Every structure is written in C-alpha cells, then in structure tokens.
C-alpha cells in the first residue's frame, strides 16, 4: 500500500450529536461559476469554497466576459455566479445584464474592491443579488453563496 494514499485522502467528518455538519459525501452539491480575470483570485475563491465542510461546491471558472458567455452556453444551470466587477474585456455589471437579458434568474454575487454606494447601485441596477467587498473572509463568501443558492432553490 502506498503510504502517500493515506495523506491524500480527505478526512472523514463525523458530526457530533445534534450537529448539522455532514460528511463530505453527504453534503449538498451546489454548482458555482466563478468569473474573474485574475487566475490567482479565482484560485483563492475556489480554495475558500473547498474548505467548506457543510457543502460540496462544484466550481466552474471563467477568466472574463467572453469565457463567461461560453460557460453559460456549455452549462446553463448554475446555483450561483460569482462575478468580479472589474475585468478588461467585459465588466461584471455588463455580464450580469446579459445574463438577465437571457432570462436567467441565477443569483449573482459581485466581488470587487469598489465599496462605494454608487458601485452597489450599479450592481443592483444590473440585476445583481449581493455584493462582497475585497478583502473578505472565507466564511463571508460561503455564507453569501449559501444564502443565495438556498433562496434560488426555493424559488425554482
């Protein structure tokens, strides 16, 4: 038996009595599309979600607006979309407007360094559902996405 195999396995999570924690294979799966032109930022967002013990996040990535549109064509059903606001080929607000024009009700979480009120207003006008200002904690990201995906599933 390869001794590395034991180190590479994910640990089994055994919930305590009365705890809502689930083993990873029993956790609900939520499909997320992460759209950011920065590969390191996409990696950080993905890592933040992968540390969640209560939910299994199935994550697709897009490196900008054109890849976002390709991802929608290939996989039209996501539980939520994380959109960076500032991208060179298409900003997140424009991408969200296109999503809404396609009559997609997928919840959108904007992530950005812009925390001013006018930016929030632009996000709402574009059809966004929530907004996180960088830097944020992994738990803030997971909480925002869990809330958005839960509301979306109830509405569907």
pLDDT tens digit sequence for 12-57 = 333 444 444 444 566 788 999 999 999 999 999 999 999 888 889 9
d(CA 126, CA 129): 9
d(CA 12, CA 32): 24
Share of the chain above pLDDT 70, in %: 80
Q: How confident is the model at residue 11 (pLDDT cuts 50, 70, 90)?
A: very low
State mean pLDDT over 61-75.
Answer: 92
- pLDDT value for 155: 53
Let me know the angle formed at the C-alpha of 42 by 10 and 145, rounded to the nearest 5 degrees.
75
pTM value is 0.80
* Overall fold of domain 27-155: Rossmann fold (3.40.50)
For residue 60, CA distances in Å to 66, 69, 82 come to: 14, 13, 10
pLDDT in tens, 80-103: 999 999 999 999 999 999 999 998
């Amino acid at each position: 038996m390869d001794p590395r195999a034991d180190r590479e396995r994910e640990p089994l999570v055994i919930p305590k009595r009365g705890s809502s924690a689930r083993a990873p294979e029993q956790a609900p799966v939520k499909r997320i599309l992460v759209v950011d032109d920065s590969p390191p930022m996409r990696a950080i967002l993905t890592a933040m979600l992968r540390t969640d013990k209560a939910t299994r996040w199935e994550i697709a990535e897009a490196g900008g607006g054109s890849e976002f549109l390709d991802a929608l064509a290939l996989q039209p059903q996501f539980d939520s979309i994380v959109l960076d606001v500032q991208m060179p080929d298409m900003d997140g607000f424009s991408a969200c407007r296109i999503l809404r024009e396609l009559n997609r009700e997928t919840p959108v979480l904007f992530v950005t360094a812009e925390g001013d009120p006018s930016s929030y207003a632009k996000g709402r006008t574009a059809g966004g559902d929530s907004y996180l200002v960088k830097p944020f904690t992994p738990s803030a990201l997971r909480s925002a996405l869990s809330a958005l995906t839960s509301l979306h599933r109830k509405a569907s």
